[in-house]
């Protein structure tokens, strides 16, 4: 009996040594770790590969061990992103079923859970409430552009984070605080789900929903790359807009990497002290530093720099505010994007018709450059700019705005 036990131990020892030698010469695919116990071998598999998290080229590299080439990776990407498949097909032309089976076992096609959908009876803006990897929901807005017959389309306003850490005084999302970054697939699937739910095509994406895109830079740029792939949703890079409140390192990196997307900077005040009270990012990245980064980007892009200005009555709509904008942007081609503040609490009010006229006339005179007035739709369903706050997170027995302030 003792000799049998000794023999078994020796066999296990020799087996371990043999596997050690083999593993050094031949990498073990699909194995993250090997743990040896008498008579037992356990193998921990590598994490699954998520579709909607990778470009087609990345998928080709990740799935190459299973026999997937660049052409097949593109076909799979197209079938899932454009075709909306929620599982790997059992058969594809000129593709072995064994390869497809291996891909199916190694991958996941994730999908957001739709919790709620609201359509504005006033202007057709539609707000979606989704849940992804975490427990906290986030919101997305479908913007209708239906004024040209035969060219009807939608733009999707996506969230990049749940909540936001920037603390802008007039924004409902800021009152949530920061919860988490969204993964690329969670951003991509916002567009996919709305595309599937839409009568007309989605032709543009704006990163102007919940969160500060530059604080989730890598995932945002990855999502944008996936959204513009020809084998996927194929949104033109020029129709993808990244918005920032002024995170300078992100702007500099965006310029350095020569990203092809449009950049919008939320300025809102050209006076540093005033800006600190409205946009706390001014304390970290003051106007002088911000405008240096903005000017570098404008020189790289060669196009007019879009500066967003959220108008608040009695705060940033005076002739002096217009003169400060002109001084701050002197010598740089810009376009000023004017938008009314949306604040259901009543702390910040949009300018009156007369106040807006005076401000706009002053801006025209001082600046002499294009000024556009952006329509903020969906206000009746809290889908307007600065109003997204994942309202299902609010206590049901309190009005949404009251709850947000109570938890700030």
Listed in order, strand segments (DSSP E) in 164-249 are: 178-181, 202-207, 240-244
Q: Are 281 and 315 in contact (CB under 8 A)?
A: no
Out of 157, 168, 171, 385, pick the active-site residue: 385
| Structure token digits, residue 200 | 């007309």
Q: What is the DSSP letter of 80?
A: I
**Phi then psi dihedrals of residue 159, to 5 deg:** -95, 145
Known active-site residue 139: yes
| Structure token digits, residue 164 | 């936001």
Could you tell me which residues come within 8 angstroms of residue 250 by beta carbon, excluding any fewer than 6 positions away? 213, 214, 215, 217, 244
Could you tell me which residues come within 8 angstroms of residue 21 by beta carbon, excluding any fewer than 6 positions away? none
Q: Are 76 and 88 in contact (CB under 8 A)?
A: yes
Total residues found in the chain within this entry: 408
Out of 139, 186, 229, 324, pick the active-site residue: 139
Q: Are 109 and 80 in contact (CB under 8 A)?
A: yes
State how beta strands 153-157 and 138-145 pair.
Answer: antiparallel
The CA distance from 171 to 385, in Å, is: 8
Known active-site residue 385: yes
167: left (phi over 0), alpha (psi -120 to 50) or beta: left
The CA distance from 206 to 157, in Å, is: 5
| Structure token digits, residue 59 | 């998928």
Q: How many CB atoms lie within 10 A of CB 286?
A: 15
Q: Are 125 and 383 in contact (CB under 8 A)?
A: yes
Could you tell me which residues come within 8 angstroms of residue 150 by beta carbon, excluding any fewer than 6 positions away? none
Active site residues: 139, 385
């Amino acid at each position: 009996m003792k000799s049998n036990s000794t023999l078994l131990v020796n066999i296990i020892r020799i087996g371990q040594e043999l596997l050690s030698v083999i593993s050094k010469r031949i990498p073990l695919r699909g194995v993250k770790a090997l743990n040896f116990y008498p008579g037992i071998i356990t193998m921990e598999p590598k994490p699954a590969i998520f579709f909607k998290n990778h470009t087609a080229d990345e998928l080709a590299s990740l799935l190459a061990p299973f026999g997937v080439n660049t052409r097949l990776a593109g076909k799979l990407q197209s079938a899932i992103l454009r075709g909306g498949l929620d599982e790997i097909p059992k058969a594809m032309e000129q593709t072995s079923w064994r390869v497809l089976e291996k891909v199916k076992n190694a991958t996941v096609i994730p999908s957001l859970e739709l919790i709620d959908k609201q359509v504005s009876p006033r202007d057709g803006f539609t707000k979606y409430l989704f849940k992804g990897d975490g427990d906290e929901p986030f919101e997305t807005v479908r913007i209708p552009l239906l004024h040209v017959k035969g060219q009807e389309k939608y733009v999707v306003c996506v969230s990049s984070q749940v909540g936001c850490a920037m603390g802008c005084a007039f924004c409902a999302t800021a009152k949530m605080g920061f919860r988490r970054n969204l993964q690329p697939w969670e951003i991509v699937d916002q567009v996919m789900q709305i595309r599937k739910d839409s009568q007309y095509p989605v032709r543009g994406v704006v990163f102007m929903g919940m969160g500060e895109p530059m604080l989730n830079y890598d995932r945002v740029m990855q999502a944008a790359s996936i959204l513009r792939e020809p084998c996927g949703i194929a949104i033109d890079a020029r129709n993808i807009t990244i918005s920032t409140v002024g995170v300078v390192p992100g702007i500099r990196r965006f310029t350095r990497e020569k990203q092809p997307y449009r950049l919008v900077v939320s300025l809102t005040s050209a006076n540093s002290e005033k800006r600190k009270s409205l946009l706390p990012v001014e304390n970290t990245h003051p106007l002088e530093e911000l405008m240096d980064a903005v000017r570098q980007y404008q020189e790289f892009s060669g196009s007019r720099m879009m500066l967003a200005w959220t108008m608040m009555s009695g705060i940033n709509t005076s002739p002096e505010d217009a003169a400060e904008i002109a001084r701050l942007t002197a010598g740089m081609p810009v376009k000023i994007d004017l938008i009314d503040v949306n604040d259901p609490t009543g702390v910040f009010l949009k300018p009156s018709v007369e106040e807006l006229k005076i401000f706009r006339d002053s801006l025209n005179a001082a600046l002499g450059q294009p000024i556009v007035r952006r329509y903020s739709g969906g206000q009746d369903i809290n889908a307007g700019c600065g109003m997204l706050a994942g309202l299902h997170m609010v206590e049901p027995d309190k009005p949404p705005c009251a709850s947000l302030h109570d938890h700030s």
